Amino acid sequence: MQQTSTFSSPRLPWAALWATCLLAVGMVFLNQAVSGRQALLLLLGGALGLTLYHAAFGFTSAWRVFILDRRGAGLRAQMVMLALAVLLFFPVLGAGSLFGEAVRGNVSPLSTSVVIGAFLFGIGMQLGGGCASGTLFTAGGGNARMLVTLLFFVIGSLIATQHLGWWFALPSLPPTSLVTRLGVLPGILVSLALFALIAAATVVLERRRHGSLEVTVPGEHQGAARLLRGNWPLVWGAIALAVLNFVTLALAGRPWGVTSAFALWGAKGAGLLGLDVSGWAFWQQPANARALAEPFWFDVTSVMNLGIMLGALAAAGLAGRFAPSLRIPARSLVAAVLGGLLLGYGARLAYGCNIGAYFSGIASGSLHGWLWLVAAFFGNSLGVRLRPFFFPGERRVERLTGC
């Protein structure tokens, strides 16, 4: 069930105005410095950030609530999101092009590194307090603790790039896509059956524990006001995220991803501090070397990530909830550091995060996305059992918080 909030009395939403101005200025700059398409990708990131914030669409809290209390609304919303994404993605990926432009899915090996990386990422989700998308939109929405998680997410991502050669040499199976292996229609049917099975399992387990499914409390705002200020029903967020990921495929030629930019930010930051990583094997690969040499605004993922943060800032301002606080308990701060490192390191090992590997991977028909889901769920299960040490006094059963 989503949290409801008491909105502040009407006042000028300065945070939203600043975010909108920065988005506009950024789009003008990108249009001139890179391309009109890059400017649209910044705007698309803004739409993703607003959606994530207003729908409180978090992967971390959804999994935590299910693990601890068997409430499955968040997981069922994720299945709706994935089902719609598969219906949109598979025909296009089967054709290999969209509007005359080549497109590709996120399809990666079924490897040992995916299992270990996703497991570490799952622990990091619960300690850090968010996933990749959750870290971005909650940090953009004014959560100071999540800025700490984001910083160490970046550091963990950079550290992992030094070790990837060893990890990727571990036993693995080749990349496998349901689209190419089964065909478009059979792949869709198999995927929808799996989504339905997971959703049905959450219903059975929730009813077994509570006797009935949780009823969502109506939001304070309705109609156009709710669209602008939140809170959105989870299904709105699920539909919007699937559609916006498909728009990403159309504009960028590949699905939505998040964490590759964090490794790049870490590498560029290390360079500013005097550490040259260009000699590392990972950064000598042509695409990575080019990204490291170019300004960061040429990187699609970096631009979209900044857009997500600005979109979340705008949403927080519109909702009257932008109120940053620097008061972070010591144990919570330690958890943010450890969680961020695990998130960053794990994402690189697993060929992505909850977005690039789980959402976009499964939407692409990649079996590594399903492997990621299983391993990350076990990691989350361990993570929720570690939380009481770092968050003493936290309620055992929580509602969905969006991160």
Any domain includes 264 = yes
Residue with the two structure tokens 């042509």: 286
**Alpha carbon of residue 42 to chain centroid:** 16
Any domain includes 395 = no
| Residue 9 confidence class, pLDDT cut points 50, 70, 90 | very low
Per residue in 335-375, pLDDT (tens digit) is 999 999 999 999 999 999 999 999 999 999 999 999 999 99
The residues, any chain, with a CB within 8 Å of residue 86's CB and separated by 6 or more, are 187, 188, 191, 192, 195, 362, 363, 365
One-letter identity of residue 355: I
Any domain includes 398 = no
The pLDDT, as a whole number, for residue 277 is: 97
The pLDDT, as a whole number, for residue 7 is: 39
Q: How many CB atoms lie within 10 A of CB 391?
A: 16
Q: Do residues 192 and 184 make contact, with C-beta atoms less than 8 angstroms apart?
A: no
Any domain includes 270 = yes
Cα torsion through 42, 316, 403, 259, rounded to 10: 20
The pLDDT, as a whole number, for residue 320 is: 81
Question: Considering only CA atoms, which of 336, 131, 160, 146 is closest in space to residue 263?
Answer: 160
Any domain includes 402 = no
Instruction: State percent of the chain over pLDDT 90.
Output: 81
| Residue 5 confidence class, pLDDT cut points 50, 70, 90 | very low
Any domain includes 179 = yes
Q: Taking 60 as the threshold, does the pLDDT of residue 1 lie above it?
A: no
| Residue 214 confidence class, pLDDT cut points 50, 70, 90 | confident
Per residue in 27-42, pLDDT (tens digit) is 999 999 999 999 999 9
Question: Considering only CA atoms, which of 298, 297, 399, 321 is closest in space to residue 64?
Answer: 399
* Domains of the chain: total: 1
The arithmetic mean of pLDDT across residues 60-66, rounded, is 95
Residues β-bridged to residue 97: 102
The arithmetic mean of pLDDT across residues 305-316, rounded, is 94
Q: Which domain does 292 fall in, by range? A: 14-390
The pLDDT, as a whole number, for residue 6 is: 39
With H, G, I as helix, E, B as strand and everything else as coil, classify residue 301: helix
With H, G, I as helix, E, B as strand and everything else as coil, classify residue 2: strand
Q: Taking 90 as the threshold, does the pLDDT of residue 43 lie above it?
A: yes
Q: Do residues 54 and 237 make contact, with C-beta atoms less than 8 angstroms apart?
A: yes
Helix (H) or strand (E) holding 179: helix 178-182
Question: In the 8-state DSSP scheme, what is residue 96?
Answer: T
Any domain includes 184 = yes
Q: How far apart, in Å, are the Cα atoms of 113 and each of 120, 152, 256?
A: 10, 20, 21
Average pLDDT over the chain, rounded to an integer: 92
Cα–Cα distance between 156 and 207 in angstroms, integer?
40
The arithmetic mean of pLDDT across residues 218-235, rounded, is 75
Any domain includes 25 = yes
Question: In the 8-state DSSP scheme, what is residue 329?
Answer: -
The pLDDT, as a whole number, for residue 324 is: 80
Q: Taking 70 as the threshold, does the pLDDT of residue 219 lie above it?
A: no
The angle at the Cα of 114, spanning 339 to 182, to the nearest 5 degrees, equals: 135
The pLDDT, as a whole number, for residue 228 is: 73
Instruction: State percent of the chain over pLDDT 70.
Output: 93
The pLDDT, as a whole number, for residue 70 is: 95
Query: Among 80-94, 108-122, 274-288, 384-398, whose mean pLDDT is lowest?
Result: 384-398
Per residue in 270-304, pLDDT (tens digit) is 999 999 999 999 999 999 999 999 999 999 999 99
Residue with the two structure tokens 């622990």: 123
The pLDDT, as a whole number, for residue 3 is: 42
Cα–Cα distance between 15 and 37 in angstroms, integer?
26
